[in-house]
A and B are shown apart, each in its own frame.
Chain A
Amino acid sequence: MITATNLSKVYGGTKVLNIEHLDIPEGESFGLVGNNGAGKTTFFSLLLDLIQPTAGNIFNHEITVSQSEDWKPFTASFIDESFLIGYLTPEEYFYFVGELRGANKADIDSFLTSFEDFFHGEILGRKKYLRDLSKGNQKKVGIVAALIGNPKVVILDEPFANLDPTTQIRLKKIIKELTENREVTVLISSHDLIHVTEVCERIVVLDKGEVVKDIKTSEATLSELERYFSGEVEVTQAEELS
């Protein structure tokens, strides 16, 4: 259960995030969409205590994230390349994360076998450092590392970007399996409306830091979202014309 109350973040006088109240129940697959600058990454960074809220709080399983480090053992995330250690090989990186999350080498090895498909032979046993991998392959490593050690909360920022189509499809499968038992809360953000409607049971649309839509995903969600985003374009165009 993740709760944000009166949460706001201000940069140089501009409010980039302002959420009055948001509850994400345990086991939910939660999708965050919005145009650039909507506040998606800001929200995730606040949730991971990488930036300080200007006001308000986020609670992760009743723990105030900016007050205590106790949420770290059950929360895993991949935001961007700054979550990867460039001078390690993928295996070493997985082992390192594993040790931080109480999984030994053998655990990790058996864990990784289930991702052989996902890696498509491009990650393991290549004797390459992470910094020498392509962007897409780096992303695969980051995503899989975020699943190590049975976390209760998984946060992925734009997991579909930079991935090839095959991997996108496999990733969708992985996320669906993850939330099947309703034990793991998955938070993802995406610019791809099709993907996000497919894997998330709830979608929140942010615009300039505000929650403008909170939808329980159904058949109609995709078209609703498409209408919203294209409508927004029309509105701004109309504004420019007038």
Chain B
Amino acid sequence: MFQRFLWLEWKFFFRSASLGKNIGLKIFLIFLALYFSVAFLALGIGLYPLLQETFPNQDPLQMVNRFVLLWLVFELGFRFMIQTLPVLDIKPLLNLPISRRKAVNFVLLKSMYSFFNFLPLFIIIPFGIFCINKGDYGTWNIIGWMIAMIATTQCVNFLNFLIKKKFTDNLKALIPAILAVVILGTLEYFKVFEISFWFGKMMNFLVLNPYLAVLPIVMLIILYKWNQLNLESKFYLDAGLKEKQKDADTKNFEWTKKFGVLAPFLQLDLKLIWRNKRPKTTIYMSLLLLGYGLFIYPGDMYGHPAMYVFVGVFMTGIFMINFGQFVPSWDASYYPMIMAQNIPLKDYLSSKAMLISSSVIVLAILSTPYIYFGWDILLINMVAALYNIGVNVPILLYSGSFNKKRIDLDKSPFMNYQGTGAAQWIVGIPLMFLPVLIFWLLNFFINFEAGLIALSGLGLLGLLLRASLMKYIAGVYQKRKYAMINGFKQTGE
């Protein structure tokens, strides 16, 4: 049976609509995976000698043990955001003679081979070997430690799925747990009660009594069973269907009426953002990243004004980039309707431009408190906002005409590359670095003011030419229309 599941997986992967088109993205992910593997391996090999050299009086293994808990908490948080439970499309399997347990086991066992579970091995194994060779522990003691660590990693794996399955719909229920972590962290920080110390002690005790490695294994089995039972109970078609039906939100954004012909589109876009998970997250992201300046301005290390231009373009344009780069993929699921309805493309695009430009203005206003770090900063941010509105908005909309990948609005945006194609990567370059380059050159050869004047001049020019630019872009969209409609129809990752 497992072979058959594997066969299905294989077909799913190689027959998915976007294989090949996505090759750039795949290469990028493989590169990331390789990078992390090498980094972890280097850490694993270097850890023992490094600790020995830096803290000659302490035992490296005991030091590492003290950090195990911290690592586990971090790993769990990281996995919670990024790792997803491997999915098996159960719908077609439900009416076939396949036992539930088998399908569930397949999903769970498959998750054990996740890349996230291999990463810690790159540290655990080399470090363990060093301990055996150089430290004064017995071979069995370290093997016990290694087994315990590997089992713990797998425990985190399954714990993550339990949390995900049980709490993703109800994140509030997680608050007590997060609170507990925060309290323990604070106590640790102020050295009132150092839990990592006690956990380290426990790990040390385990090293002395390697047979105790059985404990994490037992825990692993318990977690596995728990997951198994939990998933089995959800192995019904309606488990996915009977989500709580919330009353529809009927906010109407009546104030958009001022914008005349664009009003219906603006309303639609605002509803799109407000009522769907993925676009909604872009708003929170934008507000969060507004804090980026706090990391840059106080330090001297990035003190070059060109860097400030980058920060300005980034902060005031973060929503522009996050939302704008997926225009018109946001409307993918009803793009044929947009094309067949009585909607002039120009109005459709103008409303997008209006929405994005407003976001830049709002973010620019929100960034004014950075005046604390000097007038220069404020000035740079305002100029960057002007540049964003005048130049970057049309560039983004133009690059949008190359989008032909669908976006499912309801999927979570974390590590979600749906809708991402070459256009998204390429457009980042002129968007962010062109203004920096222009400013840097003028600042270098003439002076600071010249750089700012050039950027604002370009922004104003873009605004003056907006109407004809939009007309041109609408023409491009018209030409690419058929490819877009066809592309947006392709579902699947």
The chain A residues found within 8 Å of chain B, CB to CB, are 48-52, 69, 72-73, 75, 77, 79-80, 82-89, 92, 96-97, 99-101, 127-129, 132, 149
Contact = CB atoms under 8 A, between A and B. Distances in A.
B323 interface: no
Interface of B: 245, 247-248, 250, 252, 263-264, 267-268, 271-272, 275-276, 333-337, 339-345, 409, 481-482, 485-486, 489
A85 B337 contact: yes
Contacts of A82: 333-337, 489
A82 B336 CA distance: 6
B267 to A, nearest CB: 8
A214 to B, nearest CB: 26
Contacts of A97: 341
B125 to A, nearest CB: 48
A100 B348 CA distance: 11
21 contacts: A49-B339, A50-B336, A50-B482, A51-B482, A69-B345, A72-B341, A73-B342, A80-B336, A82-B333, A82-B334, A82-B489, A83-B336, A83-B340, A84-B334, A84-B337, A86-B333, A86-B409, A88-B268, A89-B248, A92-B250, A127-B247
Contact of A127 (B248, B267, B275, B409): B248
B482 A72 contact: no
B334 A83 contact: yes
A83 B409 contact: no
A77 B336 CA distance: 11
A50 B339 CA distance: 7
Given A48-B336, A89-B248, 9 more contacts: A50-B485, A51-B482, A51-B485, A72-B341, A83-B340, A86-B334, A87-B276, A97-B341, A100-B343
B337 A83 contact: yes
A97 B409 CA distance: 21
A228 B421 CA distance: 49
Given A79-B336, A92-B250, A100-B264, A129 B275 contact: yes
A211 B485 CA distance: 27
Given A50-B485, A77-B340, A85 B264 contact: no
Nearest to B275: A87
A101 B344 CA distance: 12
Contacts of A87: 271-272, 275-276, 409
Contacts of B486: 51
A89 B250 CA distance: 8
A128 B336 contact: no
Contacts of B409: 86-87
Contacts of B267: 96
Contacts of B485: 50-51
Closest A-B pairs by Cβ, 9 of them: A83-B337, A99-B264, A48-B340, A87-B275, A127-B247, A72-B342, A82-B336, A127-B248, A100-B342
Given A83-B340, A100-B343, A101-B342, A128 B334 contact: no
Contacts, number: 78
Nearest to A101: B342
B336 A129 contact: no
Contacts of B342: 72-73, 100-101, 149
B337 A129 contact: no
A24 to B, nearest CB: 18
Contact of B264 (A83, A96, A149): A96
A101 B335 CA distance: 18
A69 B336 contact: no
Contacts of A80: 336
Contact of B340 (A72, A89, A96): A72
Nearest to B335: A82
A79 B267 CA distance: 24
Contacts of B334: 82-86
Contacts of B263: 99
Given A51-B482, A51-B485, A99-B264, A127 B250 contact: yes
Contacts of A77: 340
Given A82-B333, A100-B264, A129 B340 contact: no
A84 B334 CA distance: 6
A88 B336 contact: no
A10 B245 CA distance: 44
Given A82-B334, A82-B335, A87-B276, A100 B341 contact: yes
Nearest to A73: B342
A132 B247 CA distance: 11
Nearest to A142: B337
Given A83-B334, A87-B272, A96-B264, A50 B344 contact: no
A149 B486 CA distance: 28
Given A51-B482, A82-B335, A86-B334, A128 B245 contact: yes
